[in-house]
Chains A and B, each alone.
Chain A
Amino acid sequence: MANISHKEVEHVAQLARLDLTEPEKTLFGEQLSQILTFVEQLQEVSTEGIPPTASVADKASVLREDIPGEGLSQEQALSNAPEASDGFFVVPKILGKK
């Protein structure tokens, strides 16, 4: 029986860059425990010597000639930016004092 602690919920939320409210932490803790208990049935399956399937596609990797093609213009690339200036995406300061 999986039991995801409050602390584990906080750790996973941090890894996923999510801020959860206290009620969300409690709810997700319960629901994730329930779902993980369900998926733990896979431990009963013997998979010794069975290779993993990451993709069912015909081939694993495709290469192409390194020839530049037509791309988006700078204007198009920035058209959905929450904030842009002088051809750059603008984000909050990451260096120095806040």
Chain B
Amino acid sequence: MALFKLTLKELQEKFTSGEVTAGEIARAYLLRVSQVEPKIKAYISVTQKDVLLEKAQGIDDGLKAWRKTEPLMAMPLGIKDNICTKGMRTTCGSRMLDNFVPPYDATVMNKLNAQKPLIIGKTNLDEFAMGSSTEHSAFGPSRNPWNQKHIPGGSSGGSAAAVAAEECVAALGSDTGGSIRQPAACCGVVGFKPTYGRVSRYGLVAFASSLDQIGPITKTVTDAAIMLNALVGYDPLDSTSANRDFPDFTKSAKKKDIKKLTVGVPEEYFAEGLDPEVAEKVQDAIAELEKIGGKIQAVTLPSTARAIATYYLIATAEASSNLARYDGVKYGFRAKECKSLAEMYHSTRSHGFGPEVKRRIMLGTYALSAGYYDAYYAKAQAVRTMIQRDFDEVFKEVDLLVSPVMPTPAFQLGERLEDPLQMYLSDIYTIPASLAGLPAISIPCGLSAKGLPIGLQLMGRPFEETIVLRAAYAYEQATNWRSKRPVIRS
């Protein structure tokens, strides 16, 4: 079997046993990327061939002296291009950072690099992670490997497409309102947003700091657990990092049943607007969860209907503040031939940012401006508390919540580009867990009649990633959707 078809765990076993070398892995993926990337456009930057081969050679040479491997050693990974990589261009999908080469690594990169993986490249995203389709990338959209006329989802669409098209074995994404889970659902792969604070945000270019969280996109639940093990941990460089113990997450992906777990089905997630085909697949999945021992219980989360409005006020307010730093002074793009400092600020920002980023900065600035702060931003913060309390209440009765990830399968490229509100509404099922900071996973639960993947979301209590992983693994083993792979037509 071709190396690129393997899961992270399978590839790891082949490398650890000495059956394949880092050099062979690097060559297999370089070939795969050269064949598939022109169609999928998952990457903004791909590591140069000689650089990657040299890295692989270094691993193969060093192995004799080290005498041990690390879980991610020689594993080919994709990194979302809003995560700072020292010496490697980090664009955030924006003209503003087209030439930005970070002088430092994000904490997650330090953690990964300690295990000597092979970084295949930096993956595409909506500009500054603002979007649900990658169509807002300044470098053009990525394509859904299942059907290239469709979006791969967003904002981590490049990471999800790269894993689905087997251009890397696993990838990092970031999730602010669904940006890991939604593209994973669109591309038929696994996407896991850990609890807010579980993974350090240091070196993740800030969009909405109270919501942003890094997590893995992988082929299987076990692979997600392997990646999570490498990413989590307290970081003094991130003031919101959680100083808590964490288990070996791979131990959660072992049991094939979910006996003694109660799974809540929130009625608000199955209301108007949900595509019948998606509803059917998710209902099938709920029946399957019951079959493997879960106790199914109907629950209600009454504030769900307010989540989108709440999110788009809080996220844009935080974004307008975070993106004030792009002024053309210390790094990034600077407009040419400006006569004054003020002119330079205005011209730099007007030419450096794309339309969606400008729209969100405008909305956030408006929501924070004098006379509107209480009506919009402060109000949204109070409703956020209500949404969080809804979850606190139901989690007294259930261990998990199950829902769709997205109301429809991946829509077509261009379909919602002119209608920002319509695009925002597709985030309805992923936003509440972001506002409450909960761990949530997206796993494949079937294909639509048109052959597009459909995702199932499982949400858990804060810091109970283990329960989410256990249920996701048991469901995955019971159904085998993971064996379905896209055929990439030329």
Contacts and interface: CB of A to CB of B under 8 A. Distances in A.
Interface of A: 4, 8-9, 12-13, 15-20, 24, 28, 31-32, 34-36, 38-39, 41-43, 45, 47, 50-58, 61-62, 64, 72, 76-77, 79-83, 89, 91-94, 98
Contacts of A92: 338-341, 343-344
Nearest to B239: A62
B420 interface: yes
A18 B361 contact: yes
Contacts of A43: 375, 379
A93 B386 CA distance: 50
Given A18-B362, A92-B341, 7 more contacts: A47-B379, A52-B384, A53-B382, A56-B388, A79-B103, A80-B101, A98-B339
B236 A64 contact: yes
A31 B360 CA distance: 11
Interface in B305-360: 306, 308-310, 312-313, 320, 324, 327-334, 338-347, 349-350, 353, 355, 358-359
Contacts of A57: 196-197, 210, 239-240, 242, 437
Contacts of B436: 56
Interface string B421-463: 1001000000000001100000000000000000000000010
Contacts of B479: none
B5 to A, nearest CB: 39
- Chain B CB within 10 Å, residue with most, of A8, A62, A77: A62
Contacts of B342: 17
B366 interface: yes
B309 A39 contact: yes
Q: Which of A39, A43, A76, A83 has the most CB of B within 10 A?
A: A39
Nearest to A37: B421
Interface of B: 99-101, 103-104, 196-197, 210, 236, 239-240, 242-244, 303, 306, 308-310, 312-313, 320, 324, 327-334, 338-347, 349-350, 353, 355, 358-359, 361-363, 365-366, 369, 375-376, 378-386, 388, 420-421, 424, 436-437, 462
Given A17-B346, A39-B313, A89-B329, A12 B385 contact: no
B103 A77 contact: yes
B173 to A, nearest CB: 20
Given A47-B379, A91-B341, A16 B361 contact: yes
Contacts of B308: 38
6 contacts: A12-B369, A18-B362, A50-B382, A52-B385, A53-B381, A72-B103
B109 to A, nearest CB: 16
B383 A45 contact: yes
Contact of B328 (A28, A42, A79, A82): A82
A12 to B, nearest CB: 5
Contacts of A54: 210, 381
Nearest to B384: A53
B344 A32 contact: no
B381 A52 contact: yes
B385 A18 contact: no
A38 B359 CA distance: 15
Say what secondary structure dominates the interface of chain A. Answer: loop
Contacts of A31: 359, 420-421
Contacts of B378: 52
B305 to A, nearest CB: 8
A15 B345 CA distance: 12
A79 to B, nearest CB: 6
Contact of B363 (A32, A45, A94): A32
Contact of B385 (A39, A53, A72, A79): A53
Contact of A18 (B312, B349, B386): B349
A20 B365 CA distance: 15
B345 A17 contact: yes
Contacts of A4: 366
A51 B382 contact: yes
A16 B362 contact: yes
Contacts of A36: 363, 366
Of A4, A55, A77, chain B has the most CB atoms within 10 Å of the CB of A55
B359 A58 contact: no
A55 B386 contact: no
Nearest to A21: B350
A47 to B, nearest CB: 4
A64 to B, nearest CB: 6
A42 B350 CA distance: 31
Contacts of B197: 56-58
A6 B386 CA distance: 35
A45 B303 CA distance: 9
Contact of B312 (A17, A39, A61): A39
Contact of A16 (B303, B320, B328, B382): B320
Contact of A45 (B243, B306, B328, B358): B306
Contacts of A38: 308-309, 421
Contacts of B362: 9, 12-13, 16, 18, 28, 32
Of the candidates B320, B330, B332, B376, the one having the most CB atoms from chain A within 10 angstroms of its own CB is B330
Contact of B347 (A19, A24, A35, A42): A19
B332 A80 contact: yes
A76 B103 contact: yes
Contacts of B363: 32, 35-36
